[in-house]
Amino acid sequence: MADDQVGEDELLAALRELKVADLLVQTLSTVSSLAYHRLDPNHRDLDQVRLAIEALRALVPVLRGTVPAELERDLETVTANLQLAYAEAVGRGDG
């Protein structure tokens, strides 16, 4: 029982420190990684790529002013690169 309490206390402490911006950045990183994976011809799913792009386009502006400017630019660059790769794949008739 004591071990359960320690685990719960650690979890609560971690939650107190966690910021929504941190969670969003991690989520967008995961979403972009999945999108790039879905661009691979062996795992192609352009609907999933499109959904990832839309999520990035919606959430990156929300982070403006809450994350360092360099990180914001990186996320914008990832979004733009995914959009270009998606457009190229659609143009080739892939997926």
Predicted pLDDT of residue 15:
84
Predicted pLDDT of residue 92:
86
For 40, half-sphere exposure in the C-beta direction (CA atoms, 13 angstrom radius) is 9
CA–CA dist 7, 53 (Å, integer): 37
Confidence (pTM): 0.82
Instruction: Tell me the domain boundaries of the chain.
Output: 19-92
Q: At residue 88, what is the residue type?
A: E
Is residue 55 exposed (0-12), middle (13-18) or buried (19+ Cβ within 10 Å)?
middle
Is pLDDT at 40 greater than 70 in this prediction?
A: yes
Is pLDDT at 95 greater than 90 in this prediction?
A: no
